[in-house]
Each structure stands twice: as C-alpha cells, then as structure tokens.
Amino acid sequence: MSAISAHARTMDGIYRHQRHIYDLTRRYYLLGRNDLIESLKPPAGGTVLEIGCGTARNLVLTAATYPDARLHGIDISSEMLKSAASVIARAGLSGRVRLAQGDATGFDARQLFGTARFDRVFLSYSLSMIPGWEAALEQALAAVAPGGELHVVDFGEQSALPAWFGRGLKAWLAKFQVTPRADLGDVMASLAARHHGELGFSTLYRDYARIGVIRLP
C-alpha cells in the first residue's frame, strides 16, 4: 500500500462517523477560519481552491462572501467528500462548487478541474493533519496563479496562553492525528523567498492559531 493510500484510509477511518458531527464540534476550536475567508478577497469572477476541504463548511461560507467566485475543493478522504457534496447540494451550490478527491502533497489540478492555477488557494487546519505538510505547501503554492495568493490558518504554539493549556490541547489533538506545525512561519517565509513572493504572517488569539498569506508577483 502506498503512503498516500494509507493516509487516505487513516483519514476515512477517523471521519467515517465524525463527519456527521464535525462542523458542530469544530466551530469551538478551529479559530481563525472566518478571518482567513474574509482576507481572501478574490478578483471578480476569480477562482478559489481549498486544499483539505473537509465538509465544505469553508467553501459554502466563501461562496456566500464572494458570490461571483468559482470554487473548488479537494480532500484525501472519500468519507469527508460525501459530507461535502451533501452540504453543497443543500446550500444550492452544486453549480458553483466543484469537488475532487486528491492528496495535498501531489495532485494535478488541471486533471481534476481543467484548471491548473487559481487566484486564491487556501488551507484551513489541514497542514496539521498532513504527514508531508511541507510538500503540501509547495504543491499549494504551485497551484497559485501569477499575482495570486496562498492563505493558511492552523494551530499555533499557544505561547501566550497558560502552559497547561498548550500541553492539554496538543495531547488531545494527537488522538486525532493532529500535530501543530511549530515552524509554519519559517517554512512559509522560505517558500515565499524562493518564489519571490511577499509573506504576511501573524498569530491569533494569544497564539492559539497562526495565519499567513503568500502573495505572488
């Protein structure tokens, strides 16, 4: 079994049942998702890709925020995509949002969607679940069109919160194969420099979360 298919099976195992209550529970601790969506600001009629789209919660909110954007989402979990398709259909967005199964560390956007690059690409609390997360960032930036932007939000290190809180959160997250990426900012900075992009990076909620954007020339 390949590493990709093994990870897909792991994610399906985690989300086969959790997907039914995912959005209800995650709203309380996946902080910063709305901040990311508000900062996307794609051009009129622009294309947006979410990598690790999960239940499509973010795609539905993005569609409401930017009514003329063309939206796309990929996820490695076929179980999550079942929920995503259902959520999108209930929102009446089947004609605006396209979904496909794909691995964040190696996907062919042209093959999946007929579009190789997008005006905005974003990852929301997905890098902390991807074993090869640095490769996923490389792949994500490769899918950004010239003049476009890559947006990321994920767990921080809770550096301004009580130490017991950070320890407890990380121990709990580990039960779900989630590992906060302490060097996310450094990796994004290196990636931006190599591609002559501009990085904006900051912490949210006393470093509970970290949010960044790479703008390409």
Residue 123 belongs to domain spanning: 3-215
Q: What is the per-residue DSSP string for the chain? A: --HHHHHHHHHHHHHHHHTTTHHHHHTTT-TTHHHHHHHH-PPTT-EEEEES-TTSHHHHHHHHHSTT-EEEEEES-HHHHHHHHHHHHHTT-TTTEEEEE--TTS--HHHHHS-S-EEEEEEES-GGG-TTHHHHHHHHHHTEEEEEEEEEEEE---TTS-HHHHHHHHHHHHTTT----TTHHHHHHHHHHHTT-EEEEEEETTTTEEEEEEE--
* Predicted TM-score of the model (pTM): 0.88
- Please write the tens of the pLDDT for every residue from 122-181: 999 999 999 899 999 999 999 999 999 999 999 999 999 999 988 998 998 898 889 999
Task: Count the domains in the chain.
Answer: 1
Tell me, what's the pLDDT at 66? 98
**CATH number of the domain encompassing residue 184:** 3.40.50.150
